[in-house]
Chains A and B, each alone.
Chain A
Amino acid sequence: MSDVYIIGAGETKFGELWERSLRELAVEAGLKAIENAGIFSRDIQVLYGSNSLAGIINGQENIGALISDFSGIAENHIPAIRVEASTASGGAAVRQASLAIKSGEYDVVMVGGVEKMTDVYGSEIIDLTSSVLDREWEAFFGATPASLAAITARKYMADFGVDKEALAMMSVNDHLNASKNPDAQFKNKISVEQAMGATPVAEPLNLMDCSPVSDGAAAILLASEKYVKKNKIDGIRIASSADAQDYLAVHSRKSLYALDSARIAGKSALEKAHVKLDDISFAELHDSYSIYGLIELEELGFAEKGHAKDLVFDDIKLGGRIPVNPSGGLKAKGNPFGATGVGQFVEAYRQLKNKCGERQVKGAKYALLHSMAGTGSMSVVHIVGGE
């Protein structure tokens, strides 16, 4: 089977982009990726679109056709398919695209992720994003994504004796890194006091524990080994990918703070890549809520259960033992659902090409990228880098 390489990457700024439409965002990211790769749009053989909520937020389905049409490639008549796996759509789309190349069917594939979340009024977005939960047995009763993360956080902190300060440190780190990322939604650094004293959203979580409502798009181009050799392209290798599923609702899982999907996908991805955790230069984690960042560090193997608190004060910083979210993460780079996971690849590509300036992870060789659906019903883990 062919190795798969990232040969180009591009993204829009993430944020509340009131004046930009769903299609404009998608096209901007796609064109940036094509230009970055130095190829022609006619070279693309299939398009995978990643999107979570356009049907209910924007009233727009058929996202594959929308992106390919307005990227100007309708006359190429290539297949264009949308991948939906809730907030893990991005990671899932990249994995499907990689498999399409590995199958031998295609040599050049585009993955474009997009979400336009600010097109609804007020608290309506809380109802719409609750569609990533079990609508009938969680959201119906008033559970929201934030409140389920909060339920997890309360139990986790009590059982392992973890202070709220440890959760706050995830957000402090995200904001610090995002302040060095021109594409990030938030450029302001925050103190641990600010992170702990923010307005409550779903206690014990507050505004600084929660990823924002974001608009944005991200795109990457993937190519086969044959294609990069023939065209002498210096691509970044996708060493492995894996995904795993879990129960949809938190109340059905074996524990309120187990993220089995992350544990299983992470272990499988490392094994397939023949890479050890010690080889990982940095991780981009799906910290839609601060608590998930801590639990993911544990489930992925960077810390023992209940001990992520030992990493979050120092080790996760740029220059630390295992830098986490050099991009700014979901909290501060932003979380435009369908674009979030693809955006992790944009960051990885730039980091592994040593093009991240102030937020560059020195000597970055391997990245671990974790994309997660909802409260943990699915995880996709990719290892990127290496020869």
Chain B
Amino acid sequence: MGEVSRFWRESVHRYRLMGNQCGNCKRIFFPPRDVCPICHRESIGKMKDYTLSGNGTIESFSVVHDVPPAFTRQRPYIIAIIRLDDGPSVTGQIVDSDPGEVEMGKRVTSVFRRVAQEGESGIIEYGYKFVLA
């Protein structure tokens, strides 16, 4: 899945962990949404950009052995769902740690890294990953 434009379109959010906030109920969302799922039409036109701190807690994780082609070089890697301090949860890799060090409840912070590579000389995708804090 190497369509450049699709991923380039989202890159600003991916590079800076930029979500948004509902101007009506003040809930924070990541990824950003055009409509708040709680406030519906009350939120339209009131969703404001919000850059997340990148600090959070590991809710749960998996050590992935059967991986898609673009992730072959990273195998095995740790994919986790992180509860960010600002509210929303995100899916991302935990890097720079042995699987034995990673535990549910541990604190993490976001870093900017290469995420995937399409083939030997293919497109390189960048985005956020997480490291133990």
Interface residues of A (CB under 8 A from B): 122-124, 126-127, 130-131, 135-144, 146-148, 150-152, 154-155, 158, 199-205, 247, 249-252, 256
State the Cβ distance, B106 to closest chain A Cβ, in Å: 13
Q: Are B77 and A142 in contact (CB under 8 A)?
A: yes
| B52-78 with Cβ < 8 A to chain A | 59-72, 74, 77
Q: Are A140 and B62 in contact (CB under 8 A)?
A: no
Q: Are B104 and A201 in contact (CB under 8 A)?
A: no
State the Cβ distance, B17 to closest chain A Cβ, in Å: 12
Contact among A127, A247, A250, A251 for B1, CB-based, below 8 A: A127
Q: How many A-B residue pairs have CB under 8 A?
A: 118
B77-118 contact mask (Cβ, 8 Å, vs A): 1 or 0: 101110000001111110000010000100000000001100
Q: Are A142 and B90 in contact (CB under 8 A)?
A: no
- 18 new A-B contacts at CB < 8 Å, known A140-B125, A202-B63: A124-B68, A126-B69, A127-B68, A136-B31, A141-B91, A142-B93, A142-B116, A143-B91, A146-B62, A146-B66, A147-B62, A154-B61, A155-B59, A158-B60, A203-B63, A247-B37, A251-B88, A256-B59
Q: Are A151 and B68 in contact (CB under 8 A)?
A: no
Q: Are A136 and B104 in contact (CB under 8 A)?
A: no
Contact among A130, A151, A152 for B80, CB-based, below 8 A: A151
Q: Are B62 and A141 in contact (CB under 8 A)?
A: no
Query: 11 A-B pairs, CB-CB below 8 angstroms?
Result: A126-B66, A131-B1, A140-B116, A141-B91, A142-B71, A144-B64, A199-B65, A201-B66, A203-B99, A205-B62, A250-B91
Q: Are A251 and B68 in contact (CB under 8 A)?
A: no
* Contact partners of B1 in chain A: CB under 8 A: 127, 131, 135, 139
State the Cβ distance, A132 to closest chain B Cβ, in Å: 13
Q: Is B34 an interface residue (CB 8 A)?
A: no
* Contact partners of B89 in chain A: CB under 8 A: 251-252
* Contact partners of B71 in chain A: CB under 8 A: 142
A142-B7 contact, Cβ under 8 Å, with A123-B72, A147-B79? no
* Contact partners of A137 in chain B: CB under 8 A: 31, 90-91
* Contact partners of A141 in chain B: CB under 8 A: 79, 91-93, 115, 127, 129
Q: Is B42 an interface residue (CB 8 A)?
A: no
* Contact partners of A152 in chain B: CB under 8 A: 60
A123-B69 contact, Cβ under 8 Å, with A200-B63, A251-B90? yes
Q: Which 10 A-B pairs have the closest CB atoms?
A: A150-B62, A127-B68, A155-B60, A251-B89, A203-B63, A147-B62, A151-B60, A202-B62, A126-B68, A147-B64
| Docked CA distance A234–B87 (Å) | 56
State the Cβ distance, B33 to closest chain A Cβ, in Å: 9
| Docked CA distance A130–B1 (Å) | 11
| Docked CA distance A148–B80 (Å) | 9
State the Cβ distance, A58 to closest chain B Cβ, in Å: 17
* Contact partners of B115 in chain A: CB under 8 A: 140-142
**Shortest Cβ distance from A251 into B: residue:** B89
* Contact partners of B79 in chain A: CB under 8 A: 141-144, 147, 151, 202
| Docked CA distance A55–B72 (Å) | 24
| Docked CA distance A200–B75 (Å) | 12
* Contact partners of A154 in chain B: CB under 8 A: 60-62, 104
| Docked CA distance A154–B79 (Å) | 12
| Docked CA distance A203–B99 (Å) | 10
Q: Are B67 and A144 in contact (CB under 8 A)?
A: yes
Q: Are B116 and A127 in contact (CB under 8 A)?
A: no
State the Cβ distance, B130 to closest chain A Cβ, in Å: 10
* Contact partners of B125 in chain A: CB under 8 A: 140
| Docked CA distance A168–B120 (Å) | 38
* Contact partners of B66 in chain A: CB under 8 A: 123, 126, 144, 146, 201-202
Q: Are B64 and A142 in contact (CB under 8 A)?
A: yes
**Shortest Cβ distance from B90 into A: residue:** A251
A251-B81 contact, Cβ under 8 Å, with A140-B7, A140-B125, A142-B74? yes
